[in-house]
Amino acid sequence: MKKAVILFIILTFTLLSCSAQEESDISGSLKGGLRYLAVDSGNKPLEYTVYRGDYIVLELPAGPQTFSVPDLDIEVSLPQPASEKPYVKMKESGVFPFTLGERQGTITVVELTEAHYTEFTAEEAAAFINQTEPLVLDVRTEGEYRAGHLVGASLLPVQVLTENLDKLEPYKDKDILIYCASGNRSTVASRILIDAGFTRIYNLRYGYGNWVRGGFPVE
């Protein structure tokens, strides 16, 4: 009996350590729904790990420089003009070589996996809504929301989610179904809520567009 208890403690500690290690491998920090990645002033290859769906901002020690990820068809001049979006979207998971000016690097894009997190197709989400009546959270912009949204959805754009977490406090241990246009911003929002202690997060993996194509109700 004592050996079984000791083994259980060891396994629990190992699982917790692995979970912490995995999270510590994610680069940068989230601010306003964007993941900021610091770029040092050295000349060694750059290595980053981010989540699929992250909107990354490279914090340059000096500029301007060209950021190029050929496998993702990304090539932008940094820093971007004020008229352009200040981020680059990581739409696909995988390991992608890139160049930043004359420097080389690799960005590893991983899927979000958490004990408190589940991804749904449109069909699964529709069944889930009918069965459990979760809080349906739209994290797109106000303009996107006005153009059409899931029936009964509440709007809270991912850009202002962190500073408005108190509005969601009553749902900390209740079901929350999150969606955006294509499943990227909703993944970022899911990460923010999980980090804040929310325990039942569901993500509409392919977003509002997939929901509409499936013929599910909107308003």
Spell out the CATH class of 117-213. Answer: alpha beta
- Kindly give the confidence (pLDDT) of every residue in the chain, 219 residues in length, as a single tens digit, with 9 standing for 90 and above: 444 433 333 333 333 333 433 556 899 988 888 899 999 988 899 999 999 888 899 998 877 899 999 999 999 998 877 777 778 989 899 999 999 999 999 999 998 888 899 999 999 999 999 999 999 999 999 999 999 999 999 999 999 999 999 999 999 999 999 999 999 999 999 999 999 999 999 999 999 999 999 999 999
Name the CATH topology of 26-110: Immunoglobulin-like (2.60.40)
Q: What's the confidence (pLDDT) of residue 49? A: 95
Token pair for 76: 């932008």
What single-letter DSSP state applies at residue 173? Answer: T
Predicted local distance difference test score (pLDDT) of residue 149: 98
Residue 124 has what pLDDT? 96
Integer CA distances (angstroms), 90 to 4, 51, 72, 110, 179, in order: 44, 8, 8, 10, 17
Structural domain boundaries of the chain? 26-110, 117-213
Going 49 to 50 to 51 to 52, the CA torsion angle's sign is negative
Long-range contacts of 133-136 (CB under 8 A, 24+ apart): 134/174, 134/175, 134/176, 134/177, 134/202, 135/168, 135/171, 135/174, 135/175, 135/176, 135/177, 136/177, 136/179
What is the phi/psi pair of residue 175, to 5°? Answer: -70, 130
**Cα separation, 53 vs 109, whole angstroms:** 9
